[in-house]
Structure 1
Amino acid sequence: MKMVLTVAAVAFLGMAAPAPAEMIQEQQDLRATIEALSRRIEEQDKRLQELEAQQASPAATAPDTASEEYRQAQRQAIQDVLAEMKTQDKASKLPGWLDDLKFAGDLRLRYEYNGYNWGSTSDSDKKDRNRARYRLRFGVKKTWLDDQLEVGFRLASGENNDPTSTNQSFTQGFSKKPVWIDLAYARYTPKDFKGFSIIAGKMARPWITNDIFFDSDVNPEGAWAQYKAAKMGMFQPFAGAGYFVVNESSGGDDSTMYILQGGVKADITADMVYTFAANYQEWTGFSASGLSPRGNANPLSRIPGMRIVNLSNNLDVAEVFGKPLSVFGDFAYNFGEDDPNGDYKDQNKAFAAGVKWGKNKKKGDWSVKYRYGYVEANALPGAFVDSDFGFANRQGNSIGAEYNLLDSLTVGVDAYLTEPIFSPTTNSGSSIREDLTTTIMANLIWKF
């Protein structure tokens, strides 16, 4: 009987045992509880022996009475241990506000080479660079109201407050490195209004475009609402609208961005999905935004406004030669470009295209990609164009490959070869500073 009860107790506690990731203290408490239950069972065995001895004596009670007394004592002992377990469980539980917390982050170690071919440029003082860098990001999010309300934030490394980069170089005499607020948002997705959601704060880019036109590290600040309609056959329409603060000034004009987007997702086949999106961006007070030109006409006062139409096309195929394939093509046109001095007249178009074959999810997975970009000087806000590509007034190619050493650990390499599109001094790109730029990046990425 002792063995049966002990095995049953251990099995019961095994089912209730925490996952391997729980604290060592909790495991020790469980072991102590099992030992307490074993001691109680030993005490009941001893009591049974006493009852059996009494039964063997002339004055012994009836066998049924002795057995019932033992069973009652046994049940009471187990109830006492279970009550003690519940008390310990309540004491060890985290506060309720910590329920449903989700943590995520990544660490990227990088070697980066930047090479410059100056051609006919006289400004040849800029030297090639070799840098060791890292990116560290850590975020937390929590949900309430049956997952209708989500609040989250993320911290990230970065050499400064540049919105297009979270890279930090190893430099400055082993100094401590800064941490920045990268995300801080709240999202509401009501179940009574299926397909609708609204998000406010500092958020990941919510509208559809490519990472050359709008750097993936840039997290806009404002509000965005979107609606995805129910599927209509193979089609699912969607729409969104946003208001974002670029710069707020107490003594002057504010700079803001309004955006409207509409599109449709089409399930062409079970394994092929096409997505089309068109957005219109209105950048008000652009010359007062305080942004760095980064390829735009300089100073920004030469650009009275930005009114951009961006068309995006994406095709995702589940399997091509055993791996998923993604293709994109985007075009943008700035109707607000009007350089009064005429140096950058009609420099208001941008397009990009690319393909990625493969996907990185588990050990042994690999992928390769290629992209081409062409961004004229005043086509897009240069401060938010892909920093690895070289911001605005650039054209060129990039290739990359990534391999999963483990499910959460990858190695990869990316290479960019870009050059300027236009120089107002020569009406060409031949003598603009940083003629031809080669960038090579080797990465080791751990996701957790």
Structure 2
Amino acid sequence: MKHFLKPTVLVAGALGALALAPSTQAQTADALIDKLIEKGVLTSKEGQALREETDKDFSRAYQAKSGLPDWVTALRIGGDVRLRYDGIYQDPDSGGVNSVDRNRLRYRMRVGVTATMMDDMEVGFRFTSAENKSTGNNGMGDPISGNDTLTSNASKKSLWIDLAYAKWQMLNRPDWSATFIGGKMENPFVFDEVVFDGDYTPEGLAFQSGYTVNDQHALKFNTGLFSLAEIAASSHDAYLFGAQLRWEANWSQHWASSLGLSGLAFSDKQNLTHAAAGVNPNVPDVSRGNTRVSSVGALTSSFNPIIVDGSVTWTRESFPFYPGAFPIKFMAEYINNPAASPNLATSPIGPGKTRGEAYNIGMQLGKSGKRGTWDLTYKWKWLESNYMFEEMVDSDHGGWYQASPFVGGGGTGYGAGTNLRGHYMRAAYSPYDSLTLSVTYYLFGLIDKPAGASSSTAGRIQVDAAFKF
């Protein structure tokens, strides 16, 4: 024992000094312990005890230097920057005399901080770039896009709050999990862009739970209540309630599937209104497609969509020019809004028609995101006018309105949202873990063209370089 005591004390002192150094030196401490175990100077049990003591010394030193309280166990900074060329093109048959091609250089920047705390709690915030979509004097950052355009003689760009949330994982067992989330958060539901744009971060309360049946099957349940419009002069605020059940299955090493059943319910649709120039709207006016009594007026349909989605993934052990296992994914989705009302007889779009359904089918080869990986994706979409609230769905696919889709005029030109059918194609490659390059092409037209319009097809190409940190 006397022979071992002196080396142990010396080792502990050396490791204590390393613990006060940066993380790279902390990694050196682990390497030193491994070497001493290998040489027989320390047993595995003694080495583990030294590791734990070193970690405690590092935590105490880090908290003393940073000023963080001892209940904060980790602090992470992360984000991404995406540079984009965005081109929108109409042929003369679609645009008529007002045909306009657009060529924009754009960017999206997001940066945030996440603090992990004792007792399974987490808080976080994130800032994002975005354009102001308010028609009044109150700023409203675009809720479904973090893109901003390089224009206006290098004017300074706005920064908005994208996330501000608190999370408590109240249950964390091998078979059961349960988490509460409050604030402005990442979308707690598992949906694609046909239901929610990827940049949409809802505001309210959410609950997520999961049950692992066995090694092959797991069930997940997500629910949320979100604020859409708080009206100072009315008791009828607009809310969104949603519930989702998912079944995830791994049938074998090569086959996996996912199946989801979801329901959404919007309250007080009459308050989901836009506004004329100079007046603050209840919700930002970004997209179009829903039928309204006017361009800034109330919606003619309610929204209680039911969503069924599923996918099957076959994973090959290898594939030419792809590192590692190669996934091939087939996906399909059907949405029905039973609350959709027949369009008004005076509506410029689909008078008398009930347009409350949507279809989305496609496949994806590979998966980008890691060094050397790539993917190819194709989807065909049929998105009727009132299957979903237009201000939440993908902001990138759109068609050309030769004439106004609203009673009273307004809203001509290119418009994203609903009332669309067409093709989505994407190719992406990740030369590094931190960088993904991609090209996306949208070719869409309107399902119901405004009265007097002969064509509505628009092509849109996006070339991206996305850096993450």
TM-score category by the smaller chain? 0.7 to 0.9
Q: Which residue of 2 aligns with 1:156?
A: 128
Q: Is the 8 A contact 1:212 1:389 kept in 2?
A: no
Deviations 1:73-97 (A, max 9, x none): xxxxxxxxxxxx99x9589622234
- Identity over aligned pairs, percent: 28
Partners of 1:269 and 1:9 in 2: how far apart?
47
Structure 1 segment 87-166 matched on structure 2, within 5 A:
93-97=65-69, 99-119=73-93, 122=96, 124-146=97-119, 148-160=120-132, 161-166=141-146
CA pair 102-424 structure 1, distance change in 2 beyond 3 A: same
Partners of 1:171 and 1:406 in 2: how far apart?
30
Structure 1 segment 27-426 matched on structure 2, within 5 A:
93-97=65-69, 99-119=73-93, 122=96, 124-146=97-119, 148-160=120-132, 161-191=141-171, 194-232=176-214, 234-252=216-234, 253-290=236-273, 291=283, 292=285, 294-299=288-293, 301-319=298-316, 321=319, 322-339=325-342, 341-342=344-345, 343=351, 345-390=353-398, 391-425=417-451
Partners of 1:89 and 1:283 in 2: how far apart?
50
CA pair 400-233 structure 1, distance change in 2 beyond 3 A: closer
Partners of 1:12 and 1:402 in 2: how far apart?
45
Deviations 1:277-332 (A, max 9, x none): 11111111112112446111023534241111111112233336341223221110
CA pair 150-91 structure 1, distance change in 2 beyond 3 A: closer
Task: Report how far residue 268 of structure 1 moved.
Answer: 1.7
**Counterpart AA for 2:460:** T
Q: Which residue of 2 aligns with 1:29?
A: none
**Counterpart AA for 2:305:** I
SS of equivalent to 1:229: strand
**Counterpart AA for 1:221:** E
Partners of 2:364 and 2:62 in 1: how far apart?
50
SS of equivalent to 2:171: coil
Q: Which residue of 2 aligns with 1:54?
A: none
Partners of 2:258 and 2:63 in 1: how far apart?
51
Bigger share in helix: 1
**Counterpart AA for 2:270:** S
CA pair 250-9 structure 1, distance change in 2 beyond 3 A: closer
Q: Which residue of 2 aligns with 1:431?
A: 454
SS of equivalent to 2:298: helix
**Counterpart AA for 1:351:** Y
Q: Is the 8 A contact 2:301 2:386 kept in 1?
A: no
Q: Is the 8 A contact 2:376 2:427 kept in 1?
A: yes
Q: Is the 8 A contact 2:108 2:146 kept in 1?
A: yes
Partners of 2:63 and 2:76 in 1: how far apart?
22
RMSD value, Cα: 2.8
Q: Which residue of 1 aligns with 2:34?
A: none
Deviations 1:79-132 (A, max 9, x none): xxxxxx99x95896222346501111001111111101252665x324101111
**Counterpart AA for 1:218:** Y
Q: Which residue of 2 aligns with 1:66?
A: none
**Counterpart AA for 1:362:** K
CA pair 95-319 structure 1, distance change in 2 beyond 3 A: farther
Task: Report how far residue 431 of structure 1 moved.
Answer: 3.4
Partners of 2:63 and 2:117 in 1: how far apart?
24
Task: Report how far residue 382 of structure 1 moved.
Answer: 1.1
CA pair 234-92 structure 1, distance change in 2 beyond 3 A: closer
SS of equivalent to 1:287: helix
Q: Which residue of 1 aligns with 2:43?
A: none
Partners of 1:443 and 1:109 in 2: how far apart?
6
Partners of 1:304 and 1:189 in 2: how far apart?
38
SS of equivalent to 2:339: coil
Task: Report how far residue 12 of structure 1 moved.
Answer: 5.4
Q: Is the 8 A contact 1:410 1:446 kept in 2?
A: yes
5+ long unaligned stretches in structure 2 = 1-9, 26-56, 133-140, 274-282, 320-324, 346-350, 399-416
Q: Is the 8 A contact 2:91 2:99 kept in 1?
A: no
**Counterpart AA for 2:330:** V
Deviations 1:39-83 (A, max 9, x none): xxxxxxxxxxxxxxxxxxxxxxxxxxxxxxxxxxxxxxxxxxxxx
Partners of 1:386 and 1:261 in 2: how far apart?
20
Q: Is the 8 A contact 1:121 1:431 kept in 2?
A: no
SS of equivalent to 1:96: coil
Q: Which residue of 2 aligns with 1:4?
A: none
Partners of 2:256 and 2:303 in 1: how far apart?
32
Q: Is the 8 A contact 2:217 2:247 kept in 1?
A: yes
TM-score (normalised: structure 2) = 0.73
